[in-house]
Amino acid sequence: MKIFNKKRLPDNLRILGSHDFKNSFNPFSFKSRLNSPDKVSDFFIWSPNFKKIEFIAENINALLSGEEQEVVHQFIFYNKRGEFIKDYKYKTKQFFSKIILPTNISQNKYISFVHFANSKSSFKEVLKKVGVTKKLNISKQSRGYTIFSPHEFSLGSSVHGNLGGITSNNEKTLKQRSLFIYTPAYFFKNINSYELVFNNPTDKNLFIKVTSFSNKKLKEIIIKPMGTDFIQIKNFDGGINIESKLPICRPFIFKNTPPNNLGFDVFHG
C-alpha cells in the first residue's frame, strides 16, 4: 500500500518536496518553479566580427493557432559586463522569420542577447482559444537559431542558444549549483583556432575553469550576470573539461573566426 500519494498533494506542495529532494542538480530556482513566468528566453550570442548575423524567430502564437498573428520580435542586447546596450524590434505576422540583426551594437568581440515575441494576446489567451482550458504552470519559451555569415556570399553557420530561462523583466530563473564538470563531445585539432564563448544567465558571478584531459589548466574566467566572455584555444590537440556551477556549462564553439580563412564554423560542444 502506498502511504504517500503525490497526486493528492497540492501542486505547490509537490513542487516544494521535489525541489528540496532534487536541489543539488535542479537548474531552476524554487521561485520560478512555484510561479512560472509568462515567457522566458534562451541566451544567444552576437559579434561584430561577421558580415551578417541573422536570427530565425518563431511566432508561437501563430504556430499554435494555425493562422497568422501579428507579433513584435524584441531583441535585448547586453555588453560583455552584462549591462544593457539597446533593444531592436521587428514586426511580422509570419510563422517563422529570418531577421537580420543590427550591426554596430558593440565593439566587444562577443556579447549576448535575449529574444521575445510580444503580442496583444497573452500566451494563456492563445492556449484557451485552441482548447487548452486547464490551468497549467507553463511558460512560453523563446528558442530560435542564430546564423553567422563571415562574408557577403556565405550561407552562414547556425547555432541555437544556451538555456537561459531569462524573463522579459530580466529576472533569472536558473540558479548555480555545486561544482560540475562538463565534457564537450569534440576533439580539438591544432591546425584550427577556437574561441569558446560563454554567457551567464544567473544572478551571481560565474566562475569557469577549462582544463585538458591531462589536467593541464588552459584558462579561468569569471563572468558577471548577463555577461559574456570567451577562452581561446590554439595549437592544441585533444579534449577538454569545463568546470563551473552551471547545470551544463556548454560553450558556443567558434572555429576559425574571421579574419581567419581556414574554414569557419560555429556549434555547441
Question: pLDDT tens-digit profile of 89-102?
Answer: 999 999 999 999 99
Do 142 and 228 share a structural domain?
A: no
Per-residue pLDDT for 128 more than 60?
yes
pLDDT(19) > 50 = no
CATH of residue 262's domain is 2.60.40
Statement to judge: residues 134 and 186 lie in one domain: no
What is the distance, to the nearest Å, from the Cα of residue 236 to the centroid of all Cα atoms in its chain?
A: 27
Q: Are residues 42 and 163 in the same domain?
A: yes
Position 28 scores a pLDDT of 74
Based on the domain organization, do 85 and 154 belong to the same domain? yes
pLDDT at 93: 94
Same-domain status, 60 and 91: yes
- DSSP string computed for the chain: --S--GGGS-HHHHHHHHHHHTTTT--B-HHHHHS--SEEEEEEEE-TTSSEEEEEEE-HHHHHHTS---EEEEEEEE-TTS-EEEEEEEEE--SEEEEEPPS-S-SSS-EEEEEEEE-SS-HHHHHHHTT--S-----EEE--EEEEESSTT---EEEEPEEEEEETT--B-B---S-EEE--S--B-TTS-EEEEEE--SSS-EEEEEEETT--EEEEEEE-TT-EEEEEE-S--B-EEEEESSSS-PPEEEES-TT--S--EEEE-
Say yes or no: 40 and 59 in one domain. yes
Q: Tell me: do 210 and 125 sit in the same domain.
A: no
Over residues 187-201, mean pLDDT: 97
Do residues 112 and 188 both lie within one domain? no
Tell me the per-residue pLDDT of 135-160, one tens digit each, with 9 for 90 and over: 666 778 898 999 999 998 899 999 99
- Residue at 173 is within a domain: no
What values do phi and psi take at 71, rounded to 5?
A: -135, 160
* Domain range for 253: 180-268
Tell me, yes or no, whether 174 lies in a domain.
Answer: no
Residue 4 shares a structural domain with residue 97: no
Domain boundary among 114, 140, 167: 167
Kindly report, residue by residue over 34-59, the tens digit of the pLDDT.
Answer: 667 888 999 999 999 999 999 999 99
Question: Is the same domain home to 239 and 141?
Answer: no
pLDDT band of residue 11 (cuts 50, 70, 90) is: low
CATH of the domain at 154: 2.60.290
One domain, residues 41 and 152: yes
Quick: pLDDT tens for 216-260: 888 999 999 999 999 999 999 999 999 999 988 999 999 999 988
Rounded to two decimals, the pTM is 0.87
Query: Same domain, yes or no, for 115 and 140?
Result: yes
Q: Which bin fits 107, alpha (ψ -120 to 50), beta or left (φ > 0)?
A: alpha
Q: What confidence category does residue 23 fall into, taking pLDDT thresholds of 50, 70 and 90?
A: low
Asked whether the beta carbons of 78 and 85 are under 8 A apart, the reply is: yes
User: What total of structural domains would you count in the chain?
Assistant: 3
Cβ atoms within 10 Å, residue 105: 19
Q: Rounded mean pLDDT of 22-26?
A: 59
Cis check: omega of the bond before 259, within 30 degrees of 0: yes
Neighbours of 134 (CB within 10 A): 7
